[in-house]
């Protein structure tokens, strides 16, 4: 990967991806080795972050070297930037710093999908939403633990999780059009509190709905669904 893929001299193509919290600047190129297809990406924001974190570590090493270098050997974060000198001491390895700087903000995808490099990156970034969905399904929706006893049960679990992801993406799209930015976990809790109960007395029945709290009312408007009235007479209905 380092010797062939990342050393490829194909020029990068700059791309800007719109995100909810602003734009993401990426540089992308496609590299083919034999029958394998690789998408090399460099995220400028992540590269800046990686560089800043490394500089903080180097500043800590330099401060510690002034006090003595024995304590540095036991620190794994520091040790990888050190090299031994001929005087049985340690110093900062400038070559290691330069080598690591090459990979700031860089990640590589391998794919056999017949899609453009941009679409490959976008689909990869969607994995974050899938991981978030599974975390929400396990924690917020409280679906764990799940014990599968057959292939059909596994397929059913995957299908339900995928369906939930599709519904969440559709809801997010409707919210974006309505200029609403919901927090998913609080929204799920508010939706869980939205309930109806049927009360019967003296032969008459009414349906009572709990109040819509938080962003529930705005969400229902965004998707074009009308909430039922707070109190509804079944006989009149």
Residues 24 and 61 in one domain: yes
Residues 18 and 63 in one domain: yes
Residues 163 and 215 in one domain: no
Range of the domain at 225: 188-233
Give the count of alpha carbons within 13 A of 171, CB side only: 19
Residues 17 and 98 in one domain: yes
4 occurs within a structural domain: no
Domain count, the chain: 3
Residues 100 and 158 in one domain: no
**Tens-digit pLDDT string for the chain (237 aa):** 777 887 888 888 888 777 666 677 888 888 888 888 999 888 888 889 989 988 888 888 887 777 766 666 566 667 777 777 766 677 788 888 888 888 888 888 898 888 888 888 888 877 777 777 677 666 655 566 677 788 998 888 888 877 877 888 888 889 999 998 888 788 888 988 899 999 998 888 899 999 888 889 999 999 999 988 888 887 765
177 occurs within a structural domain: yes
Residues 122 and 197 in one domain: no
46 occurs within a structural domain: yes
Residues 139 and 170 in one domain: yes
18 occurs within a structural domain: yes
6 occurs within a structural domain: no
Residues 96 and 134 in one domain: no
Residues 21 and 101 in one domain: yes
Closest alpha carbon to 28 in 115, 86, 142 = 115
pTM more than 0.85: no
- Domain finish residue from 110, 126, 147: 110
Residues 199 and 140 in one domain: no
Residues 140 and 101 in one domain: no
7 occurs within a structural domain: no
Asked if 214 and 221 touch (Cβ cutoff 8 Å), the reply is: no
């Amino acid at each position: 990967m380092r010797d062939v893929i990342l050393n490829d001299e194909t020029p990068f193509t700059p791309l800007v991806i719109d995100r909810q919290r602003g734009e993401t600047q990426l540089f992308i190129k496609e590299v083919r080795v034999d029958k394998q297809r690789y998408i090399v990406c460099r995220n400028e924001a992540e590269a800046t972050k990686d560089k800043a974190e490394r500089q903080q570590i180097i500043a800590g090493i330099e401060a510690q070297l002034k006090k003595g270098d024995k304590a540095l050997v036991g620190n794994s974060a520091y040790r990888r930037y050190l090299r031994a000198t001929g005087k049985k001491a340690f110093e900062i390895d400038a070559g290691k710093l330069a080598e690591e700087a090459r990979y700031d903000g860089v990640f590589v995808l391998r794919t056999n999908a017949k899609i453009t490099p941009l679409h490959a990156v976008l689909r990869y970034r969607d994995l974050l939403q899938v991981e978030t969905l599974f975390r929400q399904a396990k924690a917020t929706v409280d679906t764990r633990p799940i014990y599968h006893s057959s292939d059909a049960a596994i397929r059913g679990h995957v299908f339900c999780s995928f369906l939930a992801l599709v519904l969440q993406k559709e809801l997010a799209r409707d919210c974006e059009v309505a200029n609403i930015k919901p927090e998913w976990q609080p929204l799920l809790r508010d939706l869980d509190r939205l309930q109806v109960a049927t009360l019967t007395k003296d032969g008459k029945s009414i349906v009572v709905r709990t109040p819509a709290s938080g962003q529930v009312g705005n969400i229902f408007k965004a998707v074009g669904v009308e909430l039922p009235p707070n109190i509804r007479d079944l006989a009149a209905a």
